Amino acid sequence: MLADIPVFYAAIIAEGGLSYRKLVDLTLVPIDIAVLDIGGISKAVRAAMNDPQLGPVAFIVPNDAVHDMVEIFDRKTAIDRPLGIFRNGVSAMRWLDEIAPVAVKERPVPKLQEV
């Protein structure tokens, strides 16, 4: 689990995805991270974040313990970006849609050909 987090952020950075909105679902992830580990993760994430325009991130958590861990992560990371913590995906997506709506490209209407 811990080894996956730097890889996750490296992939987002490599693809230029820091400014996009993100949804992180922790409901099925076995969480066995100590507070000290959260500090180390936060430090690594903070060092990687050189993009001044960070998109919002919504976390879906299964319980109060994981909720508290995400709050600690947010405080220790100290990055200026919207962060929300939710118990279900519907609420998380509703928040993301309100704070950072997806831009919908209009498709050109095909011209009808006369027969």
Match 């309100």 to its residue by tokens.
98
Tell me the C-alpha distance between 68 and 89, whole Å: 18
Judged against a pLDDT cut of 70, whether residue 17 lies above it is answered with yes
Q: What is the pTM of this model?
A: 0.75
Q: Tens of pLDDT along 49-105?
A: 665 678 899 999 999 988 988 898 888 887 778 999 999 999 999 999 999 887 766
For residue 99, the model assigns a pLDDT of 92
One-letter amino acid at 71 equals E
Percent of the chain with pLDDT over 70: 72
Residues whose CB falls within 8 Å of the CB of residue 34, separated by 6 or more in sequence, listed in order: none
